[in-house]
Structure 1
Amino acid sequence: MSFARYVEQTDPPRPPRETLPTMYDLPSENPEEPGLPDEFHDFQPELLRITFQPPTHLPEQVFSASDMNLYYNVRYPNWYKRPDWFGAVGVPKLYEGRDLRLSYVIWQEGVSPFVVVELLSPGTEEEDLGRTKRRNDQPPTKWQVYEQILRIPYYVIFSRYTERLQVFILQAGHYQELNLSESKVWMPDIALGLGLWQGEYAGIHRLWLRWYDAKGNWISTEAEQERQRAEQERQRAEQERQRAEQERQRAERLAERLKALGINPDDDL
């Protein structure tokens, strides 16, 4: 029996809509869970958020989050998963267009994430890779939630320890791992690609996950855009200085020619 069929037969009846908990009712943190395992789990999701700019949607219709509770089953409203990062399109950037989110509640949002990213760590590797099995008295595994309940189109896994990128795409209801010739994947539905970029972010030079556009250019951060603008201004100023110097030199050469002809260039005509 499939997992989805099993849930359908064993779940209690759905409660009326007006009794469903909202974002304000469901907690955003679990005090029993440990904190972030390392700084990488802070910096990397932030870089993903900054560069997640799908041209297919207005910025007001794009939402992404890291380490946020993702509630996925209306019949068991306290069940949640907490992806390292996920991105959703076609939903308001603000909750109901007016408030910052405390959590992402699927029965309120009505839209599943388009892509989810898990950053491997020794304590979560087995679960992230779908190697753990669900016990009868436990909620579904992370893999089951992403694949069978939320049906997230892209599931991305990156290990900073081995620098390996794995991408799973939902096909016929199941995740199939892509055979990547390069460490990148193009997602045509949002006209963005995700790949490994060697560079400096937050003062740290290493391999990072980062979004790129249809031309293969890495999406710039605000700090990089400021540096680019400053460099462009510096180049324009240098060009103006060079033009002014060229004009001065031309004026000097002209004055010398006039003097050679016995004409004082300073005399009024």
Structure 2
Amino acid sequence: MTDAENGPEPKIEGEGPDEAKEKAGQLKALEAERRKRQVLGDEVADLRAKIQDLTTPQKGEDEKELTSAELRQAVTEGKLSDAEADDIKDRQRERRADQQIKKTVEDTIAVRDVFNKVADEVGRYLVAVPDLEDRESPSYQRLRGEFSKLVALGYDAKDKRTELLAAKMAFGGIERLESVSGPEDRETHQDVGGSGSGQDKPSGDSDGWPKDTNAGQKRYYEDLISKGMKNKKQAVEELEYHRKKITQRQAKQQHTA
């Protein structure tokens, strides 16, 4: 296209021909620079996408981490700048820290779940064998003997799981124990409570425990309450639930005998 077809260069009022041409040239240079930067920006965006692909795991794959050697090689080959390599290192460190925090939380939850399960089962033994409160009773001595054997073998004396294992060794499985033993002629608050809202309140002494709860059972559940593992209402309901199950199993056995 000729200059005639394009028309004359734009002339800014108050400026001479040379000044107008200079301004027009500057505008063209700025436009060229803008286009150059746009192209460069597109290239940077493409490079960042490639970096993201390098550090993001594909579906079904483990998260891939680039080693320091791999990052240095990428910088040497011009695939990454020093700043981008440092950014990848920082993100990888943050990801490792997040993974460690997640694992710690999951482990804590798992330990808490195990503790709750073990504590519940130990509580059932205390209900099924009420004379465990008496340190002179044969039941207590039997449990103590098994517990001492386990500790001598290296089991942790402070671990509730050791206590539960000793109870299993001394008295057998809790299901079998609840079906053949337990307090006789005991009634839960559901059996003796009146109608209406009164059935929701545990019968028993003034401190809110069922009337036949012994001191050992109270100490056991009060320890769980103090640790935040249960509240008083849950402890009372658990005691009464286990006693009701024992009563029902004994009644069923007597009926089928």
TM-score range, shorter chain: under 0.3
TM-score when normalising by structure 2: 0.24
More helix by share: 2
Query: TM-score of the superposition, structure 1-length normalised?
Result: 0.23
Q: Which has the higher strand share?
A: 1
